[in-house]
Chain A
Amino acid sequence: DAKTTQPTSMDCAEGRAANLPCNHSTISGNEYVYWYRQIHSQGPQYIIHGLKNNETNEMASLIITEDRKSSTLILPHATLRDTAVYYCIVRVADGANNLFFGTGTRLTVIP
């Protein structure tokens, strides 16, 4: 699986949009971009994934650049409960291979 690069930490004001960047310049054509988050003392939780089109669900939006070398996870209205470590991962979607997590971005939502 391709490696990803994320900022170590970010702050966001409550109620504002949180934009978390991820670089994945060595992504392969059949690899998807996945985002997970880990709230303190819990197991990681799936957020969203995409291949090349932008995706949106009830939790977040995922914007992938046209060259697929980077992406941004958007939490449109951050709440205090969104404080967590956010992991960006690239992998083949069928799940028939390993999955490596990096160190992620620690997002702190500030009241």
Chain B
Amino acid sequence: GAGVSQSPSNKVTEKGKDVELRCDPISGHTALYWYRQSLGQGLEFLIYFQGNSAPDKSGLPSDRFSAERTGGSVSTLTIQRTQQEDSAVYLCASSLVSQGSTGELFFGEGSRLTVL
């Protein structure tokens, strides 16, 4: 596609339910990032994938959060047993990693999660 696509754009769920958020990066981009942004706050890093390397999971806030990237393309962020403090906009970004690349990140429009 032309840009980074995220779905769903909005998700309302009940406390304790599991949710899955999807990110479809720009074709050919080997790096994929997930961030979380709570209302009025900055971007909080969650996880980073780069090619076949082990992902950098250092930003995941708890073991209820996990992410995978299948086939080096689409990524799914899963939040188990959601809590109200998980309510936020979840942003995905991708970038091209190669010698001479600008390293620019291209962001999707985000998935807004509301946990009741």
Contact = CB atoms under 8 A, between A and B. Distances in A.
Contacts of A99: 33, 45, 48, 105
A9 to B, nearest CB: 12
B61 interface: no
Interface residues of B, number: 30
Interface string B88-116: 00010101111111111111111000000
A94 B108 contact: no
A101 B31 CA distance: 16
Contacts of A102: 42
A49 B48 contact: no
B31 A49 contact: no
Interface of A: 32, 34, 36, 38, 42-46, 49, 85, 87, 91-104
B48 to A, nearest CB: 5
A87 to B, nearest CB: 8
Contacts of B31: 95-96
A43 B42 contact: no
Contact of B103 (A38, A87, A93, A101): A93
B104 A49 contact: yes
